[in-house]
Amino acid sequence: MNEWKPTACILCECNCGIQILLGPDGRSFEKIRGDKLHPASAGYTCNKALQLDHYQNGRVGRVTAPLRRRADGEFEEIDWDTAISEITARLQEVGLRHGGESIFYYGGGGQGNHLGGAYAPATMAAFGMRYRSSALAQEKTGDFWVGARMFGYPMRADVEHAEVAFFVGKNPYQSHGFPRARTVLKEIARDPDRSMIVLDPVRTETAELADFHLQLRPGTDVYLLSAMAAIMVRDNLIDADWLGEHAEGVDEVLAVLRAVPIEKYCATADVDLDLVTAATRRLARAQSVAALEDLGVQMNRYSTVVSYVEKLVWLLTGNVAKPGTQYAFTGMAAIGHDRGHPAGEGPVSPVAGAPIISGLVPCNVITEEILTDHPARYRAMFIESSNPVHSLADSARMRAALRSLELVVVIDVAMTETAREADYVLPAATQFEKYEATFFNFDFPRNIFHLRHPVLPAPDGVLAEPEIHARLVEAAGVLTEDDYAPLRAALAQGREAFAMAFLGVLADPQRSKLAPVLLYRTLGPTLPGDAAAAALLWAAAYNCVRKFPDSVERAGYGTGLAAGERLFEAILAGEHGIVITEDDYEVTWNRLRGNKVRLVVPELLAVLAGLPDAEGESGEWPFVLSAGERRAFTANTIVRDPRWRKRDGGGTLRISLADAERLGLAPGDLVRVTTRRGSTEVPVEPTDRMRPGHLSLPNGFGLSVTGPDGVPVTTGVAPNELTEFDSRDEWVGTPWHKYVPARLDMVPV
């Protein structure tokens, strides 16, 4: 009899614990349920996780052998030794002629697919790669940069215990972002002593549960948030005592906010002044406010300035370091950390001179770094578990950029839109065929880490990413048995001796970059259950103890070297996930730079002080398109099989009832959407959720998969065929996918 196997959902950052029952064939997911033993999700799951068999076993164009592009443009299967040796030789050739920094690394794992990507720094070091990016650089880097300037440490929100939940451009009913999101939202909505405030142009599922839905004009968030902050100052709603004790730059910020034209900005956002005032007063009188922003503003106009003003709103009322407010979390990796260099002073990309935030080149300048005759341009790309042709702005330009490179190597499970542009495709195991984990560990006060064990074996011919990286590093000649032997000898004497020997590796700046593969080849084979990929977590556990000793001790692991070993062993054994740290809220102050918050970010405060009048509607482009809306049956593009969708299987264009009536459109009518970059035809869905002048297309569509007859089938519209690479935030380069000027034309029947 088959048994339920614990693992996790891979479709958003929460990675809720689930259990899977395999079918009689040993590969199909016969049943999926929430894992009640998971310490964060505790049995919760949304509808999307229940469709994960379509990820594992759907029509995805699975790659099961290394592929090489022939001279005629078609792919042929090759063996692993040939693939590794040829890729190594070609990477070294590019490095010899142009420098290793001309090889650009993109990816490193999607949602819940981080453990393999954590081995990539060794490959980057082996071939001299310097520049990298990932999807975070088209979403979160503005928030990272602002957080670094204001706090010196990334912050998150304790929504579950908040009196007021404040969502800015976020629909957690679909996007989640905190444990048990739908349950928590319903609990807040039912409680008369709690409230929810939502800023969103769309009447989302979250907005329907909210006490205050500020349904603003698309792209005017900065004006509305500025008005809210100004109302707090005007009406003396700020916590002056708290600010005096915990904040710097109070007077400068208050002076700017006193000059904000509140009525004008509310009119700009097209939200009733009385409603804005009521929502602001409710937020200000709350004992605790938890605020979360998301792609609705992070991929929109003024996105970095919005991240700044959003934080001012909850800082003015003292919502830090107490239950139900913002906190500074622990973790197994430094996700969201940045040095917070003033604009123009930090590292930049080699051609466009774009700021590198959290080590990531802005996604929207990648094609600029390639499609040029600049001597420092990128000449090759190494792409891992990512699909930038589909997921980044201006897909046509991205395809052109990849085709212009001397070499493109892709590691992935399926023949994605990006893999089709590669010179070599290396097949990886799925997230359920290998040891895997996510480093999005943001829970508080008890933080959770989950090492997921394989649910089923990988098919012959594919490898997990740690093995691929190890083979490339070894083929490059930078690690040999001579490097492994001393560590293996030390390990034979015990983990303590191994730790001392490994400290010698970390003391060498060059060899320390190769640490992931050194651990994989030495410690890895000794781990139970063929868990070699988890070897990297041994170092991560020790690092967690070093950075958060009191938090680890409070979680029950003791202190010193022994705590590192106990934490690592608990991670290996904890198939349902474990608590890695436990905190109290006040510890947040110890993690902030100087134990205070800095209200002034000079560059952004200057923008706030001089916001121009908002642009009016254009006659040529009368609509604003949101390119990539999360819906009940959309997810990231790792789920390529369209059959998983129980509703909206074709991916409709949502339009307001008023616009549909004005244009004479009925549900299902075909229209042509045109932007500055492209045009496509799509059926419409008139709905009262949308404002007039606002359109939305769902994310996750436009993927080509093999149909039943072997012919490729594309379902719906790929949003980034309509977006532009140079429509982006001026500070960190994040794209304006949620603000794409557009027009509609009827398609003749």
* Tokens 């799509």 -> residue: 682
Instruction: Answer yes or no: is 357 within a domain.
Output: no
Q: Report the amino acid identity of residue 51.
A: Q
How many CB atoms are closer than 10 A to CB 575?
18
pLDDT tens across 210-242, in order? 999 999 999 999 999 999 999 999 999 999 999
Mean pLDDT within 575-591: 97
Give me the CATH number covering residue 98: 3.40.50.740
Distances (CA, A) of 15 to 18, 181, 331, 347: 9, 12, 15, 32
Residue 627, beta-bridge partner list: 697
Question: What percent of the chain shows pLDDT beyond 90?
Answer: 94
Rg of the chain over Cα atoms, rounded to whole angstroms, equals: 25
- Name the pLDDT band for 635 (thresholds 50, 70, 90): confident
CA–CA separation, 94 vs 432, rounded Å? 35
Give me the CATH number covering residue 674: 2.40.40.20
pLDDT of 617 above 80: no
Secondary structure letter of residue 108 according to DSSP = S
Same domain, 289 and 147: yes
CA nearest neighbour of 150 among 299, 347, 321, 307: 307
Asked if 238 and 210 count as a contact pair (C-beta separation under 8 A), the reply is no
Is the peptide bond prior to 350 cis by the omega test (within 30 degrees of 0)?
A: no
Say whether 115 sits in a helix, a strand or coil.
coil
Instruction: Answer yes or no: is 194 within a domain.
Output: yes
pLDDT of 349 above 90: yes
Same domain, 221 and 201: yes
Mean pLDDT within 479-490: 97
Domain count, the chain: 4
CA nearest neighbour of 355 among 146, 576, 631: 146
The domain containing residue 28 runs over which residues? 5-57
pLDDT tens across 49-90, in order? 999 999 999 877 899 999 999 999 999 999 999 999 999 999
Same domain, 220 and 319: yes
- Name the pLDDT band for 711 (thresholds 50, 70, 90): confident
pLDDT tens across 654-692, in order? 999 999 999 999 999 999 999 999 999 999 999 999 999
Mean pLDDT within 569-581: 98
Q: What is the DSSP string of 21-80?
A: EE-TTSSSEEEEEE-TT-TTTTT---TTGGGTHHHHHSSS-B--S-EEE-TTS-EEE--H
Same domain, 52 and 71: no
CA–CA separation, 116 vs 113, rounded Å? 7
Asked if 228 and 198 count as a contact pair (C-beta separation under 8 A), the reply is no
Same domain, 186 and 316: yes
pLDDT, the chain, mean: 96
Which pLDDT score, from 0 to 100, does residue 1 have?
A: 58
Phi, psi of 197 (to 5 degrees): -120, 125
CA–CA separation, 295 vs 297, rounded Å? 5
Which pLDDT score, from 0 to 100, does residue 60 have?
A: 74
Read off the pTM: 0.97
Q: Report the amino acid identity of residue 702.
A: G
pLDDT tens across 368-377, in order? 999 999 999 9
Distances (CA, A) of 87 to 106, 111, 423: 16, 27, 9
Instruction: Answer yes or no: is 674 within a domain.
Output: yes
Instruction: Answer yes or no: is 728 within a domain.
Output: yes
Q: Report the amino acid identity of residue 347.
A: P
Which pLDDT score, from 0 to 100, does residue 168 have?
A: 98
pLDDT of 114 above 90: yes
Q: Would you state the structure tokens that stand for residue 121, as one six-digit string?
A: 């720094």
CA nearest neighbour of 369 among 392, 414, 402: 402
